[in-house]
Structure 1
Amino acid sequence: MRNHSILLWILLFVDGVFGAAEVAVSVSVMKGDSVTLHTDVSELQNDDIIDWMSEDGVIIAKIENKKISEKYVPEKKFEGRLELDHKTGSLTIKNITSQHEGIYKLDIGGGHLISKNFSVTVHDDVESLSVMEGDSVTLHTGVTKIQKDGVIRWFGDQGTCIAALTCAAKTVSVKEGESVTLHTGLIDIQRYDLILWKFEDHLIAEINKGTNQFIVLENADVRFKGRLQLNEKTGSLNISGSETTDSGDYHLNMSNKMCTLHRTIVLTVKAIVTPKGHTEDPGLHPDEGQILKECELSEKNEQSC
């Protein structure tokens, strides 16, 4: 009887150590975004061991005794893309591509017992083109200017990289005076608790689902006064009457309990150039200006007669 009691105690102990409930999380991101997979730990304890693994169980990042282990070299596809948060152990994958789709496994042992599986899906807009055999075809990126801090890769239908060029931030270009919408890529914001829009380092708009607040912080940067509007369904940011001073980097952060998505959109507002020697009374309608010119010409002709 005593032996059975000892065996039962050992089984309970083992289940308490290794039986942490496994949580499954699905994350969908757009190609080129950065995504943070959260551990749900506010601060690591000294005896916590964090293992981040790829789908095949290979460790790609590790924290032990609050220090990032240098022993584990991730696969080449992760080179320069992984960041670990020293405080929480959360993992960020930067400039994500279709190569990084799959299951990411998190195991935390020590003071915190957590086991999670993150299913990461990378998507992009798909366009169909129809051409005749022998034709040449150009596939456009939609980018007007390549940024120097990222990478553009072209992949074949089997996922094989067929061309690469060094860029990461999404680029939008408009003419001065036009309205422009910076898109979140969401149909509905329900899956995110907090959405932040920043211009350079200034917070200019915030959506907080917990407090049901949609806030435009125009005082943070007076140049946007009266020109910013948030779409309450998608979280996209509209800038009306764009000015050349609106050009720059717009940072989008979308977060919930499980992950945080980071995106940078580079906006370029092109100035409208007035033709050299062209002078026109700004108070006149274009048609009125033309009529006035015709009248002046008619008067000159009469005088010459």
Structure 2
Amino acid sequence: MKSVSVKEGDSVTLNSDLTEIHDYLIQWSFWVENTLIAEINVTADRFSVFDDVLDGRFRDRLKLDNQTGSLTITNFTNEHSGLYTVETKNMNISFFLAVYDEISVKKGDSVTLNSDLTEIDYDLILWTYMNEIAVIAGIYSSDSMTVYDDVLDGRFRDRLKLDNQTGSLTITDITTEHTGDYLLLIIGANQSLKVFSVSVYDSVHCCGSTEAVIRLVLSALVGVATVILLVYDIRSRRAE
């Protein structure tokens, strides 16, 4: 399992870890409906990308390396976030990809982390504070919307507002102890994975370097697997 964060509009290469292709069949799939998006058939000498699947979500964005089988996604957007898997007869590697946004906010102000949804149809939405892997808000059904503002010794108490139309999360009266990475996970009619790197400053000068932020995001994404397991546990309990 590998975790990767991508700035929206950039390109990202998922490395197969192969130096050359020996396997007869290499397949790349995307988590939405376990969709096949690329394939190498060595026997038939065929290299294929299926960029018209999922209503053209990947159209003109996929490139296969015919030497290593690595896959490049260009002009990456939030709808391309999620779980990717490359499989051969000898290996299986998964990648968690998330778009990240860098947000800087002044101490005492409010900040809204946008889900990019115009409406919920009807998705499971989970907000997690990744620095300490704590779920802070969730929408589980049309009549179940919750903020967990008492977690982490009340760090977010009376500060969280969840939009029941879009699933966006607002943090009010923010302080430096709210600095960190926030993960948005959406599963349902819409599926996405997004990280917001929030820095809080108390003067006109702020922020660390982009490189430092990227390192923080990559560290935070290590907890994504934990969040995924939690989501499926919640859904299983609801089904019961």
TM-score by length of 2: 0.49
Larger Rg: 1
TM-score by length of 1: 0.40
- Structure showing the higher strand proportion among its residues: 2
